[in-house]
Structure 1
């Protein structure tokens, strides 16, 4: 390992074998809008903690109706006091540019927030003629690629975030939709639904649900309650119910949308897939948020040990006492911040005592996280019987 002394924690995404406001909920949105005198300015990031604060900055139904809609839905879910970073951009700015590492939009916002943002959504207001690709605005897939590149760069600095892309201007043909379960963009998800019958997705609503929940919680969890919506639509202006026979197909292609349940009022998110392979451990926003939170906790423990002396045994190997100490520090930190809160099931830290620290100046640590499981599919065998004895 070269360069400055550092802590490097690699995330393993193939270990599962599967074929109250905290820093975890700090959110951001980049939305189409206009500058306001003595208020929000195009291309400038700012921070709010309530809808009232956003309105005071010029995000109002009159001055910035599009941005206002999303911010309002965010706070309807997340509640006042939730930290939200905002940036308005001109209607000429594509989502691809919003999340490009070569443009000063998401990159600037993330830098201004000093690595605090964990969830970010981008949306360009639909208008005029749209060039379609894969059944949606071609800007959608372009943004997915650019967002993954952007966040991969920040992840190496422990500043990762999950990105929600507006699956705008769906053409209504399910067969045209790209199958993102064949992709490799674990930091990115696409929302294909809204509550107003327009051509843009309700990114503020999804972001708000994620922001208020602990990292392991699926935004589609029925026990969390229905969403604050009386109607649900896809971004082709078609009611959710009209495409009910296609829900399974849309879900299996890796999109987030709204659904309903027989006997339950209201609407719920179907799940929280990321744009990556179904066999990837990080194929869901919950998995991404969970593993990277554990990574940050471990980093916080180990960064305190950088350039500290390491006592060795007579054979030149790491002293067992130090190994036990480090293993205990990490296990305790993760148990206190995650296991006790139900965010993971268990953790195990192990350090190989045989490694040659004198030769490498590097200590390798194995950190295994046992996540929580999810009742995604419940199968009940129901029938009559002649006796219950």
Structure 2
């Protein structure tokens, strides 16, 4: 079968042991909602930049739109007014998994309407589920069973959308309906969803009115939206979060076994001795511990490198060049391609502190790009890169300190 001229970029795994600025913090919110006459329709993409725009849409803390309004309010409290956000509301009798389910006729998922409306600029989606009174919660390993179905479909959508549109993203989910049992809770490190993340914990009580069965995804999304791609949302130096309360069901997080939730791969809230306010525990995704993209930081970094590599290489698509007698690419032309890719990623990322590099080596730009000089371009019509790698940042997840008294020395 003939292949449409294009570029194929494959993510490698197991490797860790004119520039256009990419919109790193442009996210999309998918939420249960009710339409507002003349201002807010369901299944329709909207772009907002603050609570003034939210008010213009008629979205308030009403009975039907309470969770949507709460999420938006917490997002902007953390991210700041002026932050671009795309949102789409879905009827309250639909499930989160429905939003990621392909239509039987078109093959498209509802979430794609939001992704396409934003022209592929969304780097993360996050969901807020607030079903109507007819919804029956079915627990599966401590959380609403539909969450697991939604994650599997979201992973498939993200993988396919990345391949087809060169616009990678991942999705943040709520641990909806969490029953508080840390023992029977599913272990996310046994899954393979490195484009999905799950948050436990909310800013409101489970027994509140209305009852809070979801999670404060707006806070986490807001912290990520205002941070560079390499920055961990739990970074203590960035200060506490905007929320002044944080609970696991009805228990303050400081009285909860947060370590058990962390060990199973969940993001949640925590406190630090001597520090006021709340912080996030870390930034894991729902995947194995040896996955290079286990953390949202690495996911965001490699996705930004991916977007910039595509941006650099697209200018060479269907380009013509002189080749060697054996059909292989000219080394001079290869150097041109390598230089374009390296400089594009360097300018967009390394120069902004998002990649590591050897400070003692002026030639190190945090990027390695090599064109395959042995591949026959003439006979295959395919230019191959043998290597494209970026150097990730290191993170101080643990700090070991040998504290003791200075030894006493005898007076001479």
The two structures share one fold, judged by TM-score above 0.5 = yes
Tell me what 1:175 maps to.
183
Tell me what 1:386 maps to.
407
SS of structure 2 residue aligned to 1:23:
coil
Tell me what 1:209 maps to.
223
Q: Would the aligned equivalents of 2:94 and 2:131 in 1 still touch at CA under 8 Å? A: no
Q: Would the aligned equivalents of 1:126 and 1:169 in 2 still touch at CA under 8 Å? A: no
Q: Would the aligned equivalents of 2:186 and 2:264 in 1 still touch at CA under 8 Å? A: yes
2:383 equivalent to 1:363 = yes
2:398 equivalent to 1:377 = yes
Tell me what 1:254 maps to.
265
- Separation in 1 of the partners of 2:154 and 2:333? 40
Cα offset, 1:22, TM superposition: 5.5
SS of structure 2 residue aligned to 1:25:
coil
Tell me what 1:25 maps to.
25
Q: Would the aligned equivalents of 1:119 and 1:211 in 2 still touch at CA under 8 Å? A: no
* Matching of residues 28-47 of structure 1 within 5 Å: 28-47=28-47
Cα offset, 1:104, TM superposition: 4.6
2:370 equivalent to 1:350 = yes
2:207 equivalent to 1:200 = no
Write the deviation string for residues 332-351 of structure 1: whole angstroms up to 9, x where unpaired. 11110000111111111111
Cα offset, 1:42, TM superposition: 1.6
Distance change in 2, residues 1:47/1:386 (3 Å): same
2:237 equivalent to 1:237 = no
Cα offset, 1:279, TM superposition: 0.1
* Matching of residues 139-158 of structure 1 within 5 Å: 139-156=146-163, 157-158=165-166
Q: Would the aligned equivalents of 1:93 and 1:124 in 2 still touch at CA under 8 Å? A: no
Cα offset, 1:201, TM superposition: 0.3
* Range 295-304 or range 314-323, more displaced: 314-323
Distance change in 2, residues 1:105/1:316 (3 Å): closer
Equivalent residues, number: 383
2:8 equivalent to 1:8 = yes
| 2:291 counterpart (280, 288, 294) | 280
- Separation in 2 of the partners of 1:126 and 1:341? 42
2:330 equivalent to 1:310 = no
Distance change in 2, residues 1:316/1:153 (3 Å): closer
Q: Would the aligned equivalents of 1:78 and 1:209 in 2 still touch at CA under 8 Å? A: yes
Q: Would the aligned equivalents of 1:32 and 1:88 in 2 still touch at CA under 8 Å? A: yes
| 1:320 counterpart (331, 351, 355) | 331
Distance change in 2, residues 1:104/1:154 (3 Å): closer
TM-score by length of 1: 0.94
SS of structure 1 residue aligned to 2:368:
strand
Q: Would the aligned equivalents of 1:60 and 1:68 in 2 still touch at CA under 8 Å? A: yes
* Range 125-134 or range 67-76, more displaced: 125-134
Q: Would the aligned equivalents of 1:193 and 1:202 in 2 still touch at CA under 8 Å? A: yes
Q: Would the aligned equivalents of 2:327 and 2:379 in 1 still touch at CA under 8 Å? A: no
Unaligned 5+ segments in structure 2 are 206-211, 357-365
Distance change in 2, residues 1:22/1:329 (3 Å): closer
Cα offset, 1:214, TM superposition: 0.8
Tell me what 2:100 maps to.
99
Runs of 4+ displaced beyond 3 Å: 101-104, 126-129
Q: Would the aligned equivalents of 1:100 and 1:107 in 2 still touch at CA under 8 Å? A: no
2:187 equivalent to 1:166 = no
Distance change in 2, residues 1:187/1:31 (3 Å): same
Cα offset, 1:387, TM superposition: 4.9
Cα offset, 1:196, TM superposition: 1.5
SS of structure 1 residue aligned to 2:312:
helix
- Separation in 1 of the partners of 2:391 and 2:398? 20
Cα offset, 1:254, TM superposition: 0.8
Distance change in 2, residues 1:356/1:343 (3 Å): same
SS of structure 2 residue aligned to 1:176:
coil
Q: Would the aligned equivalents of 2:169 and 2:303 in 1 still touch at CA under 8 Å? A: no
Write the deviation string for residues 203-262 of structure 1: whole angstroms up to 9, x where unpaired. 11111111111111111111111101111112x23221221xx22221111111000000
TM-score by length of 2: 0.89
Distance change in 2, residues 1:101/1:238 (3 Å): farther
Tell me what 1:119 maps to.
124
Write the deviation string for residues 61-108 of structure 1: whole angstroms up to 9, x where unpaired. 247322111001111111122111111112211111122233753122
